[in-house]
Amino acid sequence: MSKPQFVYVSYIETSPEKLWEALTSSEFTRQYWFGAEIRSDWKVGSPFALLLDGEITDSGEILEADPPRRLSYSFKHQKYEELRGEPISRVVFTIEPFGSLVRLTVLHDGFVEGGKYLGAVSNGWPAILSGLKSLLERGKVLAIPRAALNKGFDAK
């Protein structure tokens, strides 16, 4: 039996370099990740943090950084009590040229069977990545409500 994981593939009209910048620059993430700021120096072994309204919501460590092809970091949720007990997970971004487009594959794994975090991730990532695609292609982000990030678990 395979372990629970989330995989999302999208095709974006951009360059691998621009997509890498959008994934690693707080200037970009604040625009498409519902105001979240991403912090790291993107060196293997360095800390990673995601901040929302000045509060660390998720943290981890850079596992792999091969610009502009592949980025991976561990991911531990900090904000909601319901998710704090979940194990550390892993996010992997694979960036591949695809004709005039770029294929972005996001793999988020390391979930426990029956845990709440996979549900939250399965709702959050599509909203985040749709905003990323829209920003890179049209220069503006879709008006997806921030509540989309919280669907899939019962955070009160």
Q: Is 43 a member of any domain? A: yes
Q: Is 156 a member of any domain? A: no
CB atoms within 10 A of CB 135: 20
Q: Is 155 a member of any domain? A: no
pLDDT digit string, tens, across residues 52-94: 999 999 999 999 999 999 999 999 999 888 888 899 999 999 9
> Which CATH number goes with the domain that contains 53?
3.30.530.20
In DSSP terms, 11 is beta-bridged to: 103
pLDDT digit string, tens, across residues 8-54: 999 999 999 999 999 999 999 999 999 999 999 999 999 999 999 99
Q: Is 51 a member of any domain? A: yes
Which of 82-86, 127-131, 139-143 holds the top average pLDDT? Answer: 127-131
Q: Is 37 a member of any domain? A: yes
Give the pLDDT of residue 59.
Answer: 96
Give the pLDDT of residue 30.
Answer: 95
Which residues have C-beta within 8 Å of that of residue 18, sequence separation ≥ 6?
136
Give me the number of domains the chain comprises. 1
**Pick from 11, 1, 3: nearest CA to 105:** 11
Domain that holds residue 23: 5-149
Distance CA 125, CA 109 (A): 13
Q: Is 154 a member of any domain? A: no
